[in-house]
Amino acid sequence: MAVTYLIRFSVKAGERKRFLDLLNGVLDEMRGEANFRAATLYVDPDHTDTFLLQETWADHQDVLDVQLHRPYRAAWHEALPNLLERPREISIWRPLRSDLSASAGEVGSGYD
């Protein structure tokens, strides 16, 4: 059964670029994983060093046993303690329903 993770990050002042560079590399690699379903990264418009990442995967156990240990995540995991003001907040959700507008077929459409 699919699982969605909501992960909140509070990035230290001056570390935003490094945080995004490392995270974007991980997100780019994740797209090729068989159990990956979707990810959306949000930024708080009032606090531009606060981010929310929504990741959906086909299987929670695969994330724990395989995905978190992928080599492309090593630099990201190692850097996090130095990039964040406090530990990330992770919550796990099970999707019940998902809706897209008819115009949402293109990646990134509908978002500024």
Residue 104 — pLDDT band, cuts 50, 70, 90? low
Distant-in-sequence, close-in-space partners of 21: CB < 8 Å, separation ≥ 6: none
φ and ψ at residue 104, rounded to 5 degrees: -90, 15
Lowest mean pLDDT across 8-12, 16-20, 66-70, 99-103? 99-103
6-34: average pLDDT: 97
pLDDT > 80? residue 92: yes
Stated pTM of the model = 0.86
